[in-house]
């Protein structure tokens, strides 16, 4: 399956001009990227301009979407509006929204349902708060996953994306450090097992599991396994705000999946 790299700009940059310039630098640097799908997730006000300057080279992702299509929800953004803008993916359940905005599993589940109705592809972020012994599988992973997918017919979940993002590894967490590639692979296999149990093998097979947490140009390709179905992409926060680093990350992943030693 084609690896997916998602550039999550979070609440950056703070001007339209800077967002346009960053998107343009990334798109030009990537050229006609093949073998890796690249999605840029800018803040809502920049989606249109990022879509325009990146054209076919990257696809658009939103950082969130509301749990309903329209109505009296001041400040919220409907998944239908995003779809209409040409957005393909939507990140849901990011730990920053869980922590700063109090989003819980129930709301995330409703958002996943609304995104699917609008034909957006949810990228569902799950991850434990604290780094524990790597021999222990945090129970919160199974819980967050099952709750996010609760009550959704299996067939609708084809081709969604699960992002394993241990909160302790996210670069803005004090003392953050990236997960080890071995542990990330173990987690990917565990999440895949959960998906098989929840959705059956044929739907689970269509789902990409990706890793997020302090990924940089130096370590990016080490998270992807090519011999087994481990991590099949990355969600990049901080490093995606630097066009050169973002491009190097994508190139290193492309090389890895092609088995290119050059």
Contacts with ligand PEP by CB under 6 A lie at 8, 165, 170-171, 212-215, 235-239
Catalytic position from the list 128, 165, 232, 245: 165
165 is catalytic: yes
Of 239 and 247, which has the nearer Cβ to ligand PEP?
A: 239
Q: How far is the CB of 66 from ligand PEP (least distance, A)?
A: 20
Q: What's the rounded Cα separation, in Å, for the pair 22 and 20?
A: 6
Of 230 and 237, which has the nearer Cβ to ligand PEP?
A: 237
Q: How far is the CB of 19 from ligand PEP (least distance, A)?
A: 17
Of 138 and 166, which has the nearer Cβ to ligand PEP?
A: 166
Question: How many other C-beta atoms lie within 10 A of the C-beta of residue 203?
Answer: 19
Closest-approach residue to ligand PEP (CB): 237
Q: How far is the CB of 8 from ligand PEP (least distance, A)?
A: 5
Q: What's the rounded Cα separation, in Å, for the pair 41 and 202?
A: 29
Q: What's the rounded Cα separation, in Å, for the pair 211 and 203?
A: 20
163 in helix, strand or coil?
strand
Cis peptide before 144 (omega within 30 of 0): no
Q: How far is the CB of 212 from ligand PEP (least distance, A)?
A: 3
Q: Considering only CA atoms, give the Rg of the chain.
A: 17
Of 171 and 183, which has the nearer Cβ to ligand PEP?
A: 171
82 in helix, strand or coil?
helix
Residues designated as active site: 94, 165
């Amino acid at each position: 399956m084609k690896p997916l790299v998602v550039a999550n700009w979070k609440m950056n940059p703070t001007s339209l001009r800077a967002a346009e310039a960053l998107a343009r630098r990334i798109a030009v640097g990537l050229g006609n990227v093949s073998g890796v799908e690249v999605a840029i997730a800018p803040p809502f006000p920049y989606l249109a301009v990022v879509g325009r300057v990146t054209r076919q080279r990257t696809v658009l992702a939103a950082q969130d979407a509301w749990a309903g299509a329209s109505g009296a929800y001041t400040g919220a953004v409907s998944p239908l509006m995003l779809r209409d803008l040409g957005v393909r993916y939507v990140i849901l359940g990011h730990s920053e929204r869980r922590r700063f905005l109090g989003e819980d599993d129930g709301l995330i589940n409703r958002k996943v349902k609304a995104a699917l109705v609008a034909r957006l592809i949810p990228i569902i972020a799950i991850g434990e708060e604290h780094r524990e012994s790597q021999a222990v599988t945090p129970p919160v992973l199974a819980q967050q996953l099952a709750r996010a997918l609760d009550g959704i017919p299996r067939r609708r979940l084809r081709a969604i994306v699960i992002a394993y993002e241990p909160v302790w590894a996210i670069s803005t967490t004090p003392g953050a450090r990236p997960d080890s590639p071995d542990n990330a692979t173990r987690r990917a296999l565990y999440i895949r097992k959960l998906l098989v149990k929840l959705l059956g093998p044929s739907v689970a097979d269509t789902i990409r599991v990706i890793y997020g947490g302090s990924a940089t140009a130096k370590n990016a390709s080490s998270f992807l396994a090519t011999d087994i179905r481990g991590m099949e992409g990355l969600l990049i926060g901080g490093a995606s705000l630097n066009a050169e680093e973002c491009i190097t990350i994508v190139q290193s992943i492309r090389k890895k999946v092609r088995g290119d030693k050059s």
